[in-house]
A and B are shown apart, each in its own frame.
Chain A
């Protein structure tokens, strides 16, 4: 029995890098993700599963668009806004893209300040990120309202293939839901940061585990993923 205790505390030898390290990390009888905590690893695996969800949505959209005999509505015209008498193509979507990228930038800096244990800056940057996220959802609500008032429905629209509406509402709706959940998640963690929970390692009320600034990075992973999905939606749905 004492042997077991001994191996627990022994300092591990330096791990090989590259493919050799990959093989040895995945070898049996040990934990695979060496310097990644369970929280971070599980967030990554959740994001992987979410990738498949969005991947399937985009695939369904691709199949619908490729197999329809009716022309697909031109997104460049559908999402144009009339500004000062001229139709500017896709302008709202472009602004939404910039807003989301800005929120990713502030989130990355929040993670950085979190690890420097700068409580104030971390919380403020997270709240700024949440604000950008809320702005994004607001603009999306505006976009939905505009399209619905123009007659876009899940079963049809005035410009062409009826599948346009259903794929649009499904994909952007699911993405908007992710952004909304992210905003809530950000506000909850920002409040904890502000209160100093991670400086005192206060235990969480649900998990009763000690709080660490790492949760800021995990929140950041989720948030960057939301931005990442938007990159693909922007490319495939709006620009294609």
Chain B
């Protein structure tokens, strides 16, 4: 996710940006969605497919949070408070990946329905 640039420190309670910015981001989101749909339509497989899906997903999420939700113009205190905790979910992911491997192994060992 893009970190905010060096914005001047003084802000009023709200932000005003030109409409053009929103239209550009809107267009970008359309293009990115189309790209991720094309990944499926063209029928890519394996690591290329997964990395492209993740890339487009992260770009879209970043654009929505940074521009549409105005996170790019907030102070670091709020940005870190909101963005950092969800990253801890990745630890949970790692735990569950390991657990899933174990469950799969047990199922194949004891029920004999493995591939």
Contacts and interface: CB of A to CB of B under 8 A. Distances in A.
Contacts of B70: 217
Given A44-B82, A214-B14, A90 B68 contact: no
A185 interface: no
Give the dominant DSSP class at A's interface. Answer: helix
B19 A90 contact: no
Interface string B71-115: 000111110111001100100110011011101100110010111
What band does the interface of chain A fall in when counting residues whose beta carbon is under 8 Å from B? 35 or more
A101 B75 contact: no
Interface of A: 14-19, 21-22, 25-26, 32-37, 41, 44-45, 47-48, 51-52, 55, 59, 62-63, 66-70, 76, 89-90, 94, 97-98, 101-102, 104-105, 107-109, 112, 115-116, 213-214, 217, 220-221, 224-225, 227-228, 231-232, 234-235, 238-240
Interface in B36-93: 36-37, 39-41, 49-50, 53-54, 56-57, 60-61, 64-65, 67-70, 74-78, 80-82, 85-86, 89, 92-93
A36 B71 CA distance: 11
A68 B111 CA distance: 12
A120 B61 CA distance: 30
Nearest to B15: A115
Contact of B64 (A70, A109, A227): A227
Given A35-B12, A69-B113, A239-B49, 15 more contacts: A25-B76, A37-B13, A44-B82, A51-B85, A51-B89, A52-B85, A52-B89, A66-B100, A67-B101, A67-B104, A68-B104, A76-B40, A105-B23, A214-B13, A235-B57
A71 B103 CA distance: 15
Which 7 pairs of residues, A with B, have the shortest CB-CB distance? Answer: A25-B77, A66-B100, A105-B26, A22-B76, A235-B57, A67-B103, A67-B100
Contacts of B17: 112
